[in-house]
Amino acid sequence: MPIFNDTEHFYSVLVPFFNMLKDDPGIGPKIFSSGLVVQFIYSDPQAIITIDCPNKVIIQGEIDLKPTVSMSMSAKTAHKFWLGKLSIVIALTKREVIAKGPLPALMKLLPLIKDSYGMYAEYLKKIGMEDKITNWD
């Protein structure tokens, strides 16, 4: 069983989660203060989610705006990433994650995102996807 059935399912899980991060008083302001436009490009299923920090919005799908940094990965890798089960260094060397753009900007952002790992597992429980917290292989 795949983690996400299709693009629509993926968006229905991840976009509300991104918005949850945006609205979290401990995480949202820190991420937005980076001033970056960070784009996540997913495959299997294909999807694009962009965090537009200057405008404080989460955007689903293609956009005209050029991202400061983009991170490409499969949806399964993204799932592991948000669960905090992915070593980003190893994922980069294995090309499971492809990071394009100024690395210093990305490196400043990743520790902020780290705070949200626990939130993703809790969120999955809330939306009835508890089985996907450990069963993602």
Q: Name the residues that contact other proteins, by CB under 8 A.
A: 87-90, 92-95, 98-105, 107-108, 110-111
Which of residues 13 and 53 has its CB atom nearest to other proteins in the complex? 53
Which of residues 13 and 48 has its CB atom nearest to other proteins in the complex? 48
- Provide, rounded to whole angstroms, the least separation between the CB of residue 129 and other proteins: 26
Give backbone dihedrals phi and psi of 40, rounded to 5 degrees, phi first.
-105, 120
- Provide, rounded to whole angstroms, the least separation between the CB of residue 85 and other proteins: 12
**Residue whose tokens read 């996807």:** 129
75-to-9, 32, 111 alpha-carbon distances in Å: 11, 24, 21
Which of residues 3 and 36 has its CB atom nearest to other proteins in the complex? 36
Cβ burial of 117 (10 Å; 0-12, 13-18, 19+) is middle
- Provide, rounded to whole angstroms, the least separation between the CB of residue 68 and other proteins: 10
